[in-house]
Amino acid sequence: MTNETGEIRSTQRTQLNLVTKNNHGTARLTPAPPQGELVDSPLFPDAAKRELANPVQRKNLHHAMSTIRAKRTRVTAELENWEELRSAGEAIKNRVGRHLDDYLVQLEENLTKAGTTVHWARDAKEANEIIVGLVKGKLGPEDLPEVVKVKSMVTQEIDMNEALEANGVAAWETDLAELIVQMGHDRPSHILVPAIHRNRSEVREIFLEEMGNYGKAAPEDLDTEPKNLAAASRAHLREKFMRAHVAISGANFAVAETGTLCVVESEGNGRMCLTLADTLISVVGIEKIVPTFADLEVFLQLLPRSSTAERMNPYTSLWTGPREGDGPQEMHVVLIDNGRTDVLADEVGREALRCIRCSACINVCPVYEKVGGHAYGSVYPGPIGAVLTPQLRSMKNPVDRSLPFASSLCGACNDVCPVKIPLMELLIHERHKAVEAKKQRKSYNVHFEPIAMKATSVMFGNGKLWGAALGAETKVGGKVLGRFFDHIGPIPGPLNRWTGARDVPMVPTQSFRAWWDEREKNNGNKAKGDQK
C-alpha cells in the first residue's frame, strides 16, 4: 500500500487502512473533522439558529441535561460541607493564580526531580511542534505511525490531532464519546460528554460505517444497545492500546509540591493510555496547578460531584514520574500558555482561570440546552466557554466578540460552579470588552440600538408624544398588517439587529390608552346607570 506521497510502507504499517475516503476526498490516517477552523465559525446568533433547527439534538440535550442536573443536585446535597468545599476550591485556585510564577517553577523542579522531562510552549503552534517532534522521535520506521490519547480539552484547544495528522501520525481518541465524534467526522459539543448530541442509532451507524476503515470493524449484527456499542468500542480500541508505543494525555491537576499529575476518567481508557505505552506525553495548561497533594482532597470531591454527578468517577490515576517496571518509562510534560497569561493579566477576568472543566455550568445553562455546543465556535461551550474563549483568543475574531452575548444572564451557572467563578459577572465584563474591541475597529458601524433607545426614551417621557405614536402605530400596524400576520418577523435595515433575534408580537389594533379610555367611559356610563 502507498500513502499520498507514494512511499512504500512497511508490512506492519499496511495493517492500518491508511487511505480512507472522507468528506475532503484527500488521503488521511484518521477520519477528517468538518471543514474549516472553529474560529471561522458563524457568529453565535447565526450558529444558534442553525442548531435550533435540529430537533434530534434538542431532544437529546434536554434529556441529558435534565437528568444530569437532577443527579448533581442530589449528590452535592449529600455533603454537608459542600459550600465550604467550594470556598476552599476557590481560595486554593486563587492562591495558585496570584502566585503562578512561583508554582510553575516549583512544579517544573519537582517534575524534573521525579524523572519527567518538562517542555514549555507559548502557544498552540509551539506546543504542537514539541509534541510532533517527541512523537516522531519515539516511533521507529517499523512502528505504526499512531498514538493513543485520553480525552483532553487542551489538546483540542491546540488542535493537536490535526497537527499530528499533518505530520503523518494518526492520533486516536480512546474515550467512547470522543471516538464517536472522531469517527463521525464531527466536533465535540460538550466538554464532559462530547457526543451528547448524538443518539444511539446515530452511534450505531457511525461505528458500522467507520470502524472497519481504521482497525477492528464493528460486528455486523451490532444493535443500538449502549452496552453493545460500548463493547464494539472496547474491541476496536483494545488492539490499539496493546500495540501503542506513545500515549498522550492531559491532566486534571498538577501538584506543584510533588510533581504529581492526576487524570480523572470513567472508562479505563485513561488508565490504558497512562499505563501501557512506553512513552507518555502529558499536555498541561499552566493553570492546572494545585499547590499540595493534600489539596486534592478538595478537588477530588468537587470535580466528580459537579461534573458526572457521581460520588466519585470510576478511575483516578496519579503518577509522579516514571517508575521502573510499571507503566511508561519515559514521561514528558508540555506546559502550555496559549492565552492563559492574557487571562491572568485581566484582574477581573482572571477568575475564569479557576475553572476545573467540570461542565456544571454548561449542564445548567438554558441557552446551551437549546443550541448545543457547536453553536459556540469553540472547544469550550456554555457559560464558561462564552467567557473563556474570547479571553483566550483575545477577541480578534467576530465569533469571539459574539460569545459573551450567548447568555440570558439567568445566573444559574454562578450557583453551580464548584470553584465559585462568578460567570454572570464575567459575561458582562466580557460584553463590555467586546463592545470596546468593536469600537476600536475601523470598520465599526454606529449601533442603531442605543439611538433607537434614546428616541424611545424621549417618547416615553412625554405622554402626548407617546399617545400620538401609539395611535399611529395601532392604525397602521395593528389594523392593517394584523389582518395578514400574527407576528412581525425580521425587519430589514438597522432594526434587523434587534428583530433578527426576537419575534416581535403584532401591534394590537387598539392601544392600551385607547382601551382604558373606552373602558372608563363605559364604566362611567354603567356606574351612572347603577345610580339610577
Partner 1 sequence: MNAKDEILQRVRKALADVKETDPALDVPVAWRYEQPTAMDDVIGRFVERVEDYKATVVRVGGSEAEIAQAVVDGLTSIEAKDAILPVGLPAAWRSAVEAAGITILSDEPQLTNDQLNAAGAVVTAARVGAAESGTIMLDHADDQGRRALSLVPDAHICVVRTDQVVSDIPEAVGRLQDSVKQQQPITWISGPSATSDIELSRVEGVHGPRTLYVVVAG
| Interface positions, 237-266, toward partner 1 (CB under 8 A) | 237-238, 241-242, 258, 260, 266
Is residue 132 close enough to count as binding partner 1 by CB under 8 A? Answer: no
- Shortest distance in whole angstroms from residue 380 CB to partner 1: 19
Smaller CB distance to partner 1: residue 308 or 407?
A: 308
Q: Are 116 and 259 in contact (CB under 8 A)?
A: yes
- The DSSP 8-state label assigned to residue 457 in this structure reads H
Is residue 317 close enough to count as binding partner 1 by CB under 8 A? Answer: yes
Alpha carbon of residue 273 to chain centroid: 23
CA–CA–CA angle 204, 205, 207 (5° rounding): 65
DSSP codes joined into one string, 193-231? STTTTS-HHHHHHHHHHHHHHHSSPPPTT--S-HHHHHH
- Shortest distance in whole angstroms from residue 389 CB to partner 1: 19
Site for partner 1 in 182-211 (CB under 8 A): 193-196, 198-200, 203
Count of H-run helices and E-run strands, the chain: 23, 12
Element (H, E) at 383: helix 382-393
How far, in Å, CA of 352 to CA of 142, rounded?
A: 45
Q: Are 270 and 317 in contact (CB under 8 A)?
A: yes
How far, in Å, CA of 29 to CA of 11, rounded?
A: 16
Smaller CB distance to partner 1: residue 165 or 430?
A: 430
Q: Are 412 and 364 in contact (CB under 8 A)?
A: yes
Site for partner 1 in 261-300 (CB under 8 A): 266-269, 271-272, 274-276, 286, 291, 293-294, 296-298, 300
List 4, 40, 83, 84, residue binding partner 1 (CB under 8 A): 84
Is residue 175 close enough to count as binding partner 1 by CB under 8 A? Answer: yes
Q: Are 280 and 327 in contact (CB under 8 A)?
A: yes
Is residue 417 close enough to count as binding partner 1 by CB under 8 A? Answer: no
3 state SS of 178? helix
Element (H, E) at 318: strand 315-319
Cell output for 170? 494518526
Q: What is the CA radius of gyration of the chain?
A: 28
**Whose CA is closest to 403, among 414, 417, 392, 387?**
387
Is residue 56 close enough to count as binding partner 1 by CB under 8 A? Answer: no
Smaller CB distance to partner 1: residue 38 or 92?
A: 92
Is residue 176 close enough to count as binding partner 1 by CB under 8 A? Answer: yes
- Shortest distance in whole angstroms from residue 410 CB to partner 1: 23
Is residue 53 close enough to count as binding partner 1 by CB under 8 A? Answer: no
How far, in Å, CA of 76 to CA of 225, rounded?
A: 30
Site for partner 1 in 61-80 (CB under 8 A): 63-64, 67-68, 79
Smaller CB distance to partner 1: residue 296 or 371?
A: 296
Site for partner 1 in 91-130 (CB under 8 A): 91-92, 94-96, 98-105, 108, 114, 119-122, 126
Taking CB under 8 A as the binding criterion, the range among 6-14, 320-328, 384-392, 461-469 that sits at the site for partner 1 is 320-328
Smaller CB distance to partner 1: residue 291 or 385?
A: 291
List 347, 443, 492, 493, residue binding partner 1 (CB under 8 A): 347
How far, in Å, CA of 415 to CA of 76, rounded?
A: 12
Smaller CB distance to partner 1: residue 363 or 402?
A: 363
Is residue 229 close enough to count as binding partner 1 by CB under 8 A? Answer: yes
Is residue 316 close enough to count as binding partner 1 by CB under 8 A? Answer: yes
Cell output for 114? 521525579
Smaller CB distance to partner 1: residue 296 or 392?
A: 296
Taking CB under 8 A as the binding criterion, the range among 84-92, 372-380, 414-422, 436-444 that sits at the site for partner 1 is 84-92
- Shortest distance in whole angstroms from residue 161 CB to partner 1: 18
Binding-residue total with partner 1 (CB under 8 A): 99
